[in-house]
Structure 1
Amino acid sequence: MAGKLWGVGLGPGDSELVTVKAARVISSSGVIAYHCARHGNSIARSVAQPYLADGQIEERLMYPVTTETTDHPGGYQGALDDFYAESAERLAVHLRAGRDIALLAEGDPLFFSSYMHMHKRLADEFDAEIIPGVTSVNASSAAVGIPLVEGDETLTVVPGTLPATELLTRFRTADAIAVMKLGRTFTRVRDALVAAGRADEAFYVERASTSVQRVLPVGEVNPEEVPYFSMIVVPGRRNNPRFVDETRTPAGEVVVIGLGPGADDTTTPQVSAELARATDLVGYKTYLARVTPRPGQRVHASDNRVESERAEFALDLASRGARVAVVSSGDPGVFAMATAVAEVAAEPRWQEVAVRVCPGVTAANAVAAAVGAPLGHDYAVISLSDRLKPWEVIADRIRQAVAADLVVAIYNPGSASRGWQVAALKELLLGLVSPDRVLIAGRDVGGPEQQLTTTTVGALDPASVDMRTLLIIGSSATVAVSRPGGDLVYTPRRHVG
């Protein structure tokens, strides 16, 4: 009868944090296996030492490389893959002989642990059971002594080995943060925390739960003395005493943000961070429906036709100390709320209130990307709405853009109260360009009802266009290509006269 593979989580380093079940399995297993570096010492074995029994076979799985280079033909990863395969076969010999194996793992066996490489190679052939362990995240949080997350706060766990740009993105959008795998990555992690404005909130924890545990503010750490078994912990701001909101002005502020065209993944990390920090959310009810407010945030929804009143309301809230996020779809500076807020904020009574604008992905860019690159050369952006400017002005601007041979992106083409303008646009275009001029209609791009149509000016059906549709009218150089790998529309960047 084959033996059983136990993945034994040992916890973060204190032998007293080994679970009762883990201690029992360690004592009763015929084989004790553990990974180690080339120096031969094993932290896992030292943690398990009190529970080892006489006569047990020990299998020391020594890594051929850790951070150094290798002459293996497959490079660093090739050397590790061969090591894992050879180690798994060594353990399989014991299992086939009927011996149970306790494979020791610091922390938890499935949380950044070497155990998982053996599990993936052996679990299909042998009975394998995992005993969870206290993670280093839990131990470091306990060492700091501050609630890590509370309520709807989320925890982001990242390895310090990520590229600096990826670390920065994660740090900017996270509530609470735990960074593992420090050592030589410490400086890069620290610099990313500084760039994200989170360094002052961060704690460095070294060898959590052990007799040599250290806890320091990140800014006081010497990078030359950081071991691999250390972490950075940033508790959520709800309980973090080191969080000082330096961006808040005494009179509050208004931040105008763009959610992007529809899909959540087109909302930028910067916008997500501003939404999380806001005390009040102000906007058109349809756009606010895309935002999930956190507990305590006040939501102020209004109709789409009261932009100036909405801007004044937001500025008034900010003047009384609130941090207000004014929510637009797409980009707030493209036919949206940034202009309305700036216009009202220019009035004398609001000139002391801080106003910032955070950009978003525009509908024009989203539609263009969905079909290829029709905006690859010069283009114009024109709103078809005549609520704030007369139709004659709109028509003249379209004529001028077409005469300049620009691609034209048409916003706000139609609504329940403006059903005639798309037909008028088509008639206007047919007097200026060939009926076979490329035209793209994108509706709810990125949303659940997305519709993309590549057609021509002559074939455009005005009845199919509504307020949620954006039109892109190609220039004389715009090309639509049908291809097995996916249709594409593009406008060459070169101008041929």
Structure 2
Amino acid sequence: MTVRAVQVIAGADVIAYHSARHGRSIARSIAAEHLRADHIEEALIYPVTTESTDHPGGYRGALDEFYESAAARLAVHLDAGRTVAVISEGDPLFYGSYQHMHKRLAHRYPTEVIPGVTSVSAAAARLGKPLAEADEVLTILPGTLPEEELTARLASTDTAVVMKLGRTFPTVRRAMGRSGRLPEAHYVERATMTGERTEKLADIDAETVPYFSVSVVPSRIADLPPGTATSTETATTTETATATATAGEPSGHGEVVVVGTGPAGPLWLTPESRGALAAAEDLVGYTTYLDRVPLRPGQRRHASDNKVESERAELALDLARRGRKVAVVSGGDPGIFAMATAVLEVACQAPYRAIPVRVLPGVTAANAAAARAGAPLGHDYAVISLSDRLKPWEVIAERLHAAAGADLALALYNPGSRSRTWQVGKARELLLEHRAPDTPVILARDIGGPEESVRTVHLADLDPHQVDMRTLLIVGSSQTQAARREDGTEVVWTPRRYPEG
């Protein structure tokens, strides 16, 4: 208890506290030595806790009625000029019952809220483990959330505390396991009180878990071995490949996770991808994509040029073969013109066949660009790369003819670069053999980035000089519509219904 809390209790006329129907109150037991015989005590006893009720408004209705009644009881004392101290375990405004009194009384009477030590801080202190360090993000979650939501949030955060265990414990433990956080998770019961217990969460029997317990996933930085660099190390692919080649025989299997970052940065990351990037010991990728990932102490980055995909894949698998947890960072979705193919191709060769490889999806550029423009891919569509670096132009032209002839909307990746300047013009000529000159074409550049721009032109007016490698083209089908709305924005969509033949 804080000094101020003790002072307020000493000066109060009325001591109020919440309790279940058994009448025992943790808050009162904490403050018991400071209570006087002349204190008026108001035990605010819940009509229900977790059980069912026949109240017309259900569980929530029963509690709302109780809080109204409890507030009215305290108002009688306040109107009589008495000072009321509502005592609450932890902090009154942190998942505390007092907040319901506060909402009903604080605007009517002078009120002071005395902050307290939360179970979150108490649990970390009892474990002797920092909750968060440097730029780590701490997430506090109620165990009453659905399992999928818990899993997603645990995967995407650096450190976490899950409260309100009890009957939710099996769900919380499953979420910890599914998110990959179970090995890091600790269990704390009744921190700083009689009956305190701390153990690894994985070792806890669900039948023994009370409501007043929490799970803690502490700071990863704090667990780094002494002497580990606290700033992120970076190694070039060549340097690391040399070191790996002389590192001796494999020391055990790690894992390779191919992660899609979406078209730009953190706003496009899925929770699963964010968690995989945070958990990795090594990050491998094209420099531009690695720069999108936050720096984390203890991680090594292996950056390389965009034209050495096989080398990157082999490096990642070599690191995993020596027991490292490796994330291969890819832009967009890793399975669409990106790193997943390269990694799997190498992973299916000796000596890498036994190394676990996972591919995590990301927002691909076509879907990101389509969303910015409206819904131009609302019906059947094809995705084609105009780059002839890995396949001949004749193959590209044949596929464009086939997709255009089938009246598919088209998402065209890699339309041009400094060394490829004629492909867009050729594609336009070919598509005009199948499409009307006024077919909408979306030029989406740097979607999600600082130079984002989205424009719509007619197919006949498509200017190859306005297209570069950071541009994605979406060409509408014969059914695609473009319209300008009252706010001046133009939207493009392809109807889901197709005219009958």
Question: Residue 208 of structure 1: SS of its match in structure 2?
Answer: coil
- Structure-2 residue corresponding to 1:61: 44
What is the alpha-carbon distance in structure 2 between the residues aligned to residue 225 and residue 352 of structure 1? 40
The structure-2 alpha-carbon separation of the partners of 1:89 and 1:187, relative to structure 1 and needing over 3 Å to count, comes to same
- Structure-1 residue corresponding to 2:260: 258
Question: Residue 130 of structure 1: SS of its match in structure 2?
Answer: coil
- Structure-2 residue corresponding to 1:395: 397
What is the deviation of 1:150?
A: 4.6
What is the alpha-carbon distance in structure 2 between the residues aligned to residue 104 and residue 437 of structure 1? 69
Amino acid at match of 1:213: E
Q: Please say if 1:496 is aligned against 2:484.
A: no
Q: 1:235 aligns with which of 210, 218, 233?
A: 218
C-alpha contact 2:436 2:478 (8 A) present in aligned 1: no
- Structure-2 residue corresponding to 1:105: 88
User: Which piece of structure 1 moves more, 187-196 or 161-170?
Assistant: 187-196
1:463-493: CA deviation from partner (whole Å, max 9, x where unpaired): 4433222222222333446667994613416
CA-based RMSD of the aligned residues comes to 3.1
Please give the residue correspondences for 1:75-114 in structure 2 after superposition, counting only pairs within 5 Å: 75-114=58-97
Tell me the matched-pair count.
474
What is the alpha-carbon distance in structure 1 between the residues aligned to residue 301 and residue 201 of structure 2? 36
C-alpha contact 1:183 1:229 (8 A) present in aligned 2: yes
The structure-2 alpha-carbon separation of the partners of 1:348 and 1:57, relative to structure 1 and needing over 3 Å to count, comes to closer
Please give the residue correspondences for 1:46-445 in structure 2 after superposition, counting only pairs within 5 Å: 46-237=29-220, 250=252, 252-345=254-347, 348=350, 355-445=357-447
Question: Residue 258 of structure 2: SS of its match in structure 1?
Answer: strand
- Structure-2 residue corresponding to 1:40: 23
What is the alpha-carbon distance in structure 2 between the residues aligned to residue 353 and residue 272 of structure 1? 22
What is the deviation of 1:436?
A: 2.8
What is the deviation of 1:494?
A: 5.9
- Structure-2 residue corresponding to 1:451: 453
What is the alpha-carbon distance in structure 2 between the residues aligned to residue 390 and residue 473 of structure 1? 22
C-alpha contact 1:440 1:472 (8 A) present in aligned 2: yes
User: Which piece of structure 1 moves more, 60-69 or 106-115?
Assistant: 60-69
The structure-2 alpha-carbon separation of the partners of 1:76 and 1:463, relative to structure 1 and needing over 3 Å to count, comes to farther
Amino acid at match of 1:198: R
C-alpha contact 1:255 1:324 (8 A) present in aligned 2: yes
What is the alpha-carbon distance in structure 2 between the residues aligned to residue 437 and residue 108 of structure 1? 62
Question: Residue 189 of structure 1: SS of its match in structure 2?
Answer: helix
1:295-346: CA deviation from partner (whole Å, max 9, x where unpaired): 1222232332333343344444445554332211101221122223344455
C-alpha contact 1:437 1:476 (8 A) present in aligned 2: yes
User: Which piece of structure 1 moves more, 353-362 or 379-388?
Assistant: 353-362
- Structure-2 residue corresponding to 1:25: 8
The structure-2 alpha-carbon separation of the partners of 1:93 and 1:452, relative to structure 1 and needing over 3 Å to count, comes to farther
What is the alpha-carbon distance in structure 2 between the residues aligned to residue 265 and residue 182 of structure 1? 31
Amino acid at match of 1:300: H
User: Which piece of structure 1 moves more, 314-323 or 379-388?
Assistant: 314-323
The structure-2 alpha-carbon separation of the partners of 1:484 and 1:114, relative to structure 1 and needing over 3 Å to count, comes to farther
Question: Residue 231 of structure 1: SS of its match in structure 2?
Answer: strand
The structure-2 alpha-carbon separation of the partners of 1:253 and 1:217, relative to structure 1 and needing over 3 Å to count, comes to closer
What is the deviation of 1:441?
A: 2.9
What is the alpha-carbon distance in structure 1 between the residues aligned to residue 200 and residue 297 of structure 2? 29
What is the alpha-carbon distance in structure 1 between the residues aligned to residue 306 and residue 183 of structure 2? 41
Question: Residue 271 of structure 1: SS of its match in structure 2?
Answer: helix
What is the deviation of 1:160?
A: 0.8
Q: TM-score, normalised by structure 2?
A: 0.84
Question: Residue 194 of structure 1: SS of its match in structure 2?
Answer: helix
1:410-467: CA deviation from partner (whole Å, max 9, x where unpaired): 1112223334333332232222211232333322333343333344423444444332
What is the alpha-carbon distance in structure 1 between the residues aligned to residue 253 and residue 183 of structure 2? 24
- Structure-2 residue corresponding to 1:9: none
The structure-2 alpha-carbon separation of the partners of 1:206 and 1:323, relative to structure 1 and needing over 3 Å to count, comes to closer
Determine which structure has greater relative contact order: mean sequence separation of CA pairs < 8 Å that are 6+ residues apart, divided by chain length: 1
Question: Residue 460 of structure 2: SS of its match in structure 1?
Answer: coil
What is the alpha-carbon distance in structure 1 between the residues aligned to residue 394 and residue 3 of structure 2? 81
What is the alpha-carbon distance in structure 2 between the residues aligned to residue 58 and residue 349 of structure 1? 73
Amino acid at match of 1:194: G
What is the alpha-carbon distance in structure 1 between the residues aligned to residue 293 and residue 164 of structure 2? 34
What is the deviation of 1:31?
A: 2.0
1:263-300: CA deviation from partner (whole Å, max 9, x where unpaired): 42321222222212222222222211111121122223
C-alpha contact 2:189 2:198 (8 A) present in aligned 1: yes
1:221-259: CA deviation from partner (whole Å, max 9, x where unpaired): 443443221222333455679xxxxxx972544432211
User: Which piece of structure 1 moves more, 261-270 or 324-333?
Assistant: 261-270
Amino acid at match of 1:363: A
1:101-139: CA deviation from partner (whole Å, max 9, x where unpaired): 211111011211112222233333433222221211222
Amino acid at match of 1:468: R
What is the deviation of 1:194?
A: 3.0
Question: Residue 33 of structure 2: SS of its match in structure 1?
Answer: helix
The structure-2 alpha-carbon separation of the partners of 1:457 and 1:80, relative to structure 1 and needing over 3 Å to count, comes to farther
What is the alpha-carbon distance in structure 1 between the residues aligned to residue 204 and residue 438 of structure 2? 66
What is the alpha-carbon distance in structure 1 between the residues aligned to residue 451 and residue 76 of structure 2? 56
Question: Residue 131 of structure 1: SS of its match in structure 2?
Answer: coil
Question: Residue 285 of structure 2: SS of its match in structure 1?
Answer: strand
User: Which piece of structure 1 moves more, 385-394 or 478-487?
Assistant: 478-487
The structure-2 alpha-carbon separation of the partners of 1:232 and 1:341, relative to structure 1 and needing over 3 Å to count, comes to closer
Question: Runs of 5+ in structure 1 lacking a partner?
Answer: 1-17, 242-247
Question: Residue 105 of structure 1: SS of its match in structure 2?
Answer: coil
Amino acid at match of 2:493: V
What is the alpha-carbon distance in structure 1 between the residues aligned to residue 176 and residue 102 of structure 2? 35
What percentage of aligned pairs have identical amino acids? 59
C-alpha contact 1:445 1:451 (8 A) present in aligned 2: yes
The structure-2 alpha-carbon separation of the partners of 1:495 and 1:259, relative to structure 1 and needing over 3 Å to count, comes to farther
What is the alpha-carbon distance in structure 1 between the residues aligned to residue 457 and residue 106 of structure 2? 55
C-alpha contact 2:376 2:494 (8 A) present in aligned 1: yes
Question: Residue 102 of structure 1: SS of its match in structure 2?
Answer: strand
What is the alpha-carbon distance in structure 1 between the residues aligned to residue 172 and residue 347 of structure 2? 39
Amino acid at match of 1:47: I
